[in-house]
């Protein structure tokens, strides 16, 4: 028998304020047409004043617990993927733990920018497979609106706020690719590319929070190549091919990156879950948000092979194959 980390429930939360592309026409020299055609984004949600990443994460966690029919007492630990924590410390994970009324177990954060949820899932999978935990809540939550330079048209139009949460439990599989749960993973980073996407402030450098800086075009080229590579690696490790994939649930940064990667993998776009048009790029929250949307509308069903891939600042990138 093989211990497998299997999905038990999923949920998400988006802040009430919806911001259409037209809003940015009043801020910077841009147009709805440019944003739609270059990125696929039509709108995004922004957190209200005073609404923090842990607020969004807690709402998503409660939705996932309801979906799984569990309470916080059933959870052994919380992993939050975020680059926009409420505070430098303590972690968002511990704040969510307290918000949920959890008095046992642990909470901590993982920071791998837009690839954070994939890194968090891999950590959770390792803990479950090795017997350190039986039920974990993995959350991607971000308030990227807080680190935007509102005078920089090349970045401020792209990002949004939100949170998604997935509960993983344990199930005994037989050790084949037909098992439910996480079947294979692949993680990578290469710090030589750190200037391509970064925040120009921090605790031990400037003592300020800083704003997001991005070289969009070179990053775009890296993204399609590295996402295809990691997807191929994960599928090969699981003994599967792109033909076996029921749904690609990619990081939602740009529709052209998503289309380019799916094309290189040989997967048609009608097997890709897309939320970039509605959410923008919500960094570590984008994959759990898209998973939650796909499950809620009935597209992702029990037994489906789901492949998620992401790339972000670092550069850090990776992928995970899950039989739902």
List residues binding ligand ACO (CB under 6 A). 30, 34-35, 38-39, 113-114, 153-154, 157, 197, 216-217, 219-220, 223, 253-254, 257, 281, 283, 311-313
Taking the C-alpha atoms of residue 286 and residue 140, their distance in angstroms, rounded to an integer, is: 7
Residue number with CB closer to ligand ACO (159 or 247):
159
Question: How distant, in Å, are the alpha carbons of 150, 152, 159 from that of 30?
Answer: 12, 10, 15
Q: Which residue is nearest to ligand ACO (CB)?
A: 312
Minimum gap (Å) between residue 278 Cβ and ligand ACO: 17
Listed in sequence order, the residues at least 6 apart from 318 whose beta carbon sits closer than 8 Å to its beta carbon are 112, 115, 118, 119, 122, 185, 186, 187, 188, 230, 309, 310
Active site residues: 114, 251, 281
Minimum gap (Å) between residue 297 Cβ and ligand ACO: 25
Give SS3 for 187. strand
Minimum gap (Å) between residue 217 Cβ and ligand ACO: 4
Residue number with CB closer to ligand ACO (108 or 220):
220
Taking the C-alpha atoms of residue 61 and residue 101, their distance in angstroms, rounded to an integer, is: 12
Residue number with CB closer to ligand ACO (133 or 311):
311
Quick check: 121 and 137 in contact, CB under 8 A? no
Listed in sequence order, the residues at least 6 apart from 22 whose beta carbon sits closer than 8 Å to its beta carbon are 32
Residue number with CB closer to ligand ACO (197 or 238):
197
Minimum gap (Å) between residue 151 Cβ and ligand ACO: 12
Residue 206's CB is within 10 A of a number of other CB atoms, namely 11
């Amino acid at each position: 028998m093989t211990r497998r980390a299997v999905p038990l429930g999923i949920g998400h939360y988006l802040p009430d304020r919806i911001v259409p592309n037209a809003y940015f026409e009043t801020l910077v020299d841009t147009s709805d047409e440019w944003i739609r055609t270059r990125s696929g984004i039509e709108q995004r949600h922004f957190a209200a004043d005073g609404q923090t990443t842990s607020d969004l994460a807690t709402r998503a966690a409660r939705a996932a617990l309801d979906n799984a029919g569990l309470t916080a007492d059933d959870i052994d630990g919380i992993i939050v993927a975020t680059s926009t924590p409420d505070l430098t410390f303590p972690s968002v994970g511990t704040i969510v733990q307290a918000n949920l009324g959890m008095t046992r177990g642990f909470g901590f954060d993982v920071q791998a920018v837009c690839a954070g949820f994939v890194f968090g899932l891999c950590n959770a999978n390792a803990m479950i497979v090795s017997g350190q935990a039986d039920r974990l809540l993995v959350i991607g939550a971000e308030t990227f609106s807080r680190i935007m330079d509102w005078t920089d048209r090349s970045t401020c139009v792209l990002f949004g706020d939100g949170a998604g949460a997935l509960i993983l439990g344990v199930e005994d599989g037989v050790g084949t690719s037909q098992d439910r749960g996480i079947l294979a993973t692949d993680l990578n980073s290469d710090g030589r590319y750190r200037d391509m996407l970064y925040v120009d402030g921090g605790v031990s450098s400037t003592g300020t929070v800083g704003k997001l800086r991005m070289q969009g075009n070179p990053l775009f080229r890296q993204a399609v190549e590295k996402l295809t590579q990691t997807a191929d690696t994960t599928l090969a490790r699981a003994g599967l091919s792109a033909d076996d994939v029921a749904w690609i649930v990619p990081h939602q940064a740009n529709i052209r990156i998503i289309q380019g990667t799916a094309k290189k993998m040989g997967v048609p776009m009608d097997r890709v879950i897309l939320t970039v048009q509605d959410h923008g790029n919500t960094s570590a929250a984008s994959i759990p948000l898209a998973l939650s949307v796909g499950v809620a509308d009935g597209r992702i069903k029990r037994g489906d092979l789901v492949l998620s891939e992401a790339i972000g600042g670092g550069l850090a990138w990776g992928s995970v194959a899950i039989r739902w």
